[in-house]
């Protein structure tokens, strides 16, 4: 997605060979117009496929997920990373390790929010080692929902996440695929148009 890549080129900050900061438009600051374009692009990629719900993870997945839900006309549910007073029992849960935050989080979705046979599209902001996406896949499996695909805003293609997900048979739709962050430079995977 050229608009997104351009945004990454101009506003992304390479913090190390593995860490890209995109806090101006995706995971602290949010560019709503770009999010809408992201929703339209996911909808385009899913053309012809039936999706009944978008599933994401708080917090940075919410903006692209809600815009995709708006374009596709389907509801969204976001997995929570912590239990609250109003969301405690009857939960599908899975465990996700965040390398960025260096902590293990239990993520959960209420039983009432995912049903057997639902056709879900999973969305997350980043795909690196795939931990978050695999946690959402685990929850979907517990619910016996059907995973139509996994939509990623920014894939770090030099890490294993996409490979792991594809090996398990899932379609991964990444809007920007980064081949390398070496030498402080963002290099995208060359795509065949």
Q: By C-beta, is 14 or 179 nearer to a second copy?
A: 14
Within 54-83, the residues that bind a second copy by CB under 8 A are 58-59, 62-63, 65-67, 69-70, 73-78, 80, 82
**With binding defined as CB under 8 A, does residue 42 bind a second copy?**
no
Minimal distance, residue 19 CB to a second copy, in Å: 6
**With binding defined as CB under 8 A, does residue 28 bind a second copy?**
yes
**With binding defined as CB under 8 A, does residue 120 bind a second copy?**
no
Q: What is the 3-state secondary structure (H, E, C) of 56-75?
A: EECCCCHHHHHHHHHHHCCC
**With binding defined as CB under 8 A, does residue 100 bind a second copy?**
yes
Minimal distance, residue 111 CB to a second copy, in Å: 11
1, 4, 8, 35: which one binds a second copy (CB under 8 A):
35
Q: By C-beta, is 3 or 30 nearer to a second copy?
A: 30
Select from 15, 32, 20 the least CA-distant residue to 177.
20
Residue 174, φ and ψ in degrees, nearest 5: -105, 130
Within 131-190, the residues that bind a second copy by CB under 8 A are none
What spatial distance separates the first Cα and last Cα of the chain, rounded to whole Å?
11
Long-range Cβ contact pairs of 24-27 (< 8 A, separation 24 or more): 26/60, 26/63, 26/64, 26/125, 26/153, 26/154, 27/59, 27/60, 27/125
**With binding defined as CB under 8 A, does residue 106 bind a second copy?**
no
Q: By C-beta, is 10 or 84 nearer to a second copy?
A: 84
Select from 1, 19, 2, 3 the least CA-distant residue to 186.
19
DSSP annotation of 16 reads: S
31, 138, 146, 160: which one binds a second copy (CB under 8 A):
31
**With binding defined as CB under 8 A, does residue 84 bind a second copy?**
yes
Residue that is written with structure tokens 């995706």 in the block:
26
């Amino acid at each position: 997605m050229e608009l997104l890549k351009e945004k990454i080129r101009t506003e992304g900050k390479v913090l190390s060979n593995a860490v890209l900061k995109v806090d101006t438009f995706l995971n602290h600051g949010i560019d709503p117009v770009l999010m809408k374009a992201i929703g339209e692009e996911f909808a385009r990629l899913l053309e012809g496929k039936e999706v009944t719900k978008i599933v994401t993870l708080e917090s940075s997945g919410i903006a692209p997920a809600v815009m995709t839900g708006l374009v596709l006309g389907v509801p969204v549910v976001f997995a929570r990373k912590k239990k609250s007073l109003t969301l405690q029992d009857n939960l599908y849960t899975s465990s996700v390790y965040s390398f960025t935050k260096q902590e293990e989080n239990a993520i959960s979705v209420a039983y009432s929010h995912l049903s057997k046979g639902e056709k879900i599209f999973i969305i997350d902001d980043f795909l690196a080692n795939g931990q978050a996406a695999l946690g959402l896949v685990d929850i979907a499996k517990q619910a016996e929902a059907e995973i139509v695909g996994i939509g990623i805003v920014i894939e770090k293609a030099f890490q294993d996440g996409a490979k792991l997900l594809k090996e398990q048979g899932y379609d991964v739709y990444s809007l920007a695929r980064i081949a390398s962050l070496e030498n402080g430079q963002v290099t995208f995977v060359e795509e065949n148009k």
